[in-house]
Amino acid sequence: MRRVVFNQKGGVGKSTITCNLAALAAHAGQRTLVVDLDPQGNTSRYVLGETADGEHADAPGAAGFFESTLKFSMRPPKTADFIVPTPWQNLHVMPAGAALDELHGKLESRYKIYKLRDALQELDDDYDQVWIDTPPALNFYTRSALIAAQGCLIPFDCDDFSRRALYGLMEAVSEIQADHNAELVVEGIVVNQFQPRATLPQRTVQELVDEGLPVLQPYLGASVKIKESHELSRPMVHLDARHKLTLEFAALYEALTRPKTRAKRRG
């Protein structure tokens, strides 16, 4: 299963959600790949820790992969050449790099939009799950991820700006579905930084539910523990497996991966 975590708004928890769900998948024994397409590289540092600036600092990663698509070669490199292991068992990453910014214009002008999809399809036998983090913009990399993915998760951080942006975001996903990837399914909206005792978050999320939007349960609460998780580069399942937020991530992961049951037909 290939999933993309996508929102055009920054600061909504894309990297946090991507890494923690991927870490849970790997912890459960699933061969898991994280693809970091955000030039800021927060996801890469989160799962790699010190090795992001150490032994893997010069790894070609996502930038190397996309650069290779601009060149003709009799023996093109394998997608696996751009992937590195993390300190966590079963978890690998295609790390981001600042060079992604430099490549963006060339890739867009030469219409390399399907290259990521083709590369990840080649890895279907190597990984059980692929989680793709995107930059906070609807650019070439985000469109490539949406075309490559089968499922889409949309982080939502419970404010009015996020809500206003949500409708345009859903339209953008629908356009990708119609024009490039009929297989893509919006699995749901992930409510992040939820404060159950505050009136505004409760009302905002309930309005989304009342509109029939696919809001996922459980909601992810706000906790200073996640900042410690970022600082130590330890996903929550490896930092504190019994913490309330870890259990919320685990319940969300279970909801996403639980086999879907079909209603029986009558008559």
Q: What percent of the chain has pLDDT above 90?
A: 76
Main-chain dihedrals φ then ψ at residue 190, nearest 5 degrees: -95, 110
The 10s digit of each residue's pLDDT in 195-254 is 888 888 899 999 999 999 999 999 999 999 999 999 999 999 999 999 999 999 999 999
What residue segments make up the domains of the chain, in order of their start?
2-257
pLDDT given for residue 51 in this prediction:
72
Could you tell me where the beta strands, DSSP code E, fall in the chain? 2-5, 32-36, 84-85, 91-94, 129-133, 151-156, 185-191
pLDDT given for residue 181 in this prediction:
97
From residue 32, alpha-carbon distances to 18, 84, 157, 255 in Å are: 11, 12, 26, 18
Helix (H) or strand (E) run with residue 139 in it: none
Pairing of strands 91-94, 84-85: antiparallel
The 10s digit of each residue's pLDDT in 43-100 is 999 999 877 666 666 778 999 999 999 988 778 889 999 999 999 999 999 999 889 9
Architecture of domain 2-257: 3-Layer(aba) Sandwich (3.40)
Find all residues with CB under 8 Å of 144, minimum gap 6, and list them.
37, 112, 113, 114, 115, 116, 117
Nearest to 94 by CA among 139, 131, 124, 69: 131
Total-model pTM: 0.92
